[in-house]
Amino acid sequence: MRLLLFLAFLVVPVLEIWVLIRVGEVIGGWTTVGLLFAAALSGSWLIRREGRRVWQSVSESLAAGRIPDRELGDAALLLAGGALLVAPGFVTDIVGLACVLPVTRPLVRGAARWFFAQRLRKLAQAGPMPGMGGPLGFPFGAPEGDGPTRHGNRTVIHGEVIRDEPAGDPDGGTQARRPELG
């Protein structure tokens, strides 16, 4: 993860500046600025168009009773791609287009799925974080009221007893009177 942050904040801006200088030398400074502006405008248009399509597919999945996992992944890729397309630079525009275009989005989605699966495997192998050794990641076991607790050799399950009573006999046929509330 540190390597990715290093790349994102140091190497990518330096690479962008280098590419901008090289492109500017070939096609001219004002043409390069115009091309960057055109890329940002066309990228924002593409984001709006693809965003509508993804939103429609999320709605259709929910209407069909399915969990929209692929569609939400596409929405996350569109968000990341949109940020990259609006940022000035040709390298980020290429990566942003890969996240946004429907032809390349499945490839990027698969790569992202693989990356996050690897990260989750590493986290699972590392075990619980320090201070978070209980079940479900809570330091002293499950939070109160969310499940059974152990007292010595007994398991206590917190709950409420509800008795079915006949409609005409509120105290279930017993002679004892219940205390009235209020």
- What is the SS3 string spanning 6-24? HHHHHHHHHHHHHHHHHHH
| CA 98 – CA 106 distance, rounded (Å) | 9
Confidence of residue 141 (pLDDT cuts 50, 70, 90): very low
- Residue 138 included in any domain: no
- Residue 83 included in any domain: yes
- Residue 182 included in any domain: no
> Where do the H-state alpha helices sit in 64-104?
69-86, 90-100
- Residue 20 included in any domain: yes
Q: Which of 38-42, 124-128, 149-153 has the lowest mean pLDDT?
A: 149-153
pLDDT tens, position by position, 69-121:
888 888 899 989 988 988 889 999 999 999 998 899 999 999 989 988 888 88
pTM metric for this prediction = 0.61
Range of the domain at 58: 2-126
- Residue 38 included in any domain: yes
Say which residue, 74 or 144, is predicted with more confidence.
Answer: 74
- Residue 153 included in any domain: no
Q: From the CB of residue 85, how many other CB atoms can be counted at a distance below 10 Å?
A: 25
Name the domain count of the chain: 1
- Residue 168 included in any domain: no
- What is the pLDDT at residue 142? 47
- Residue 157 included in any domain: no
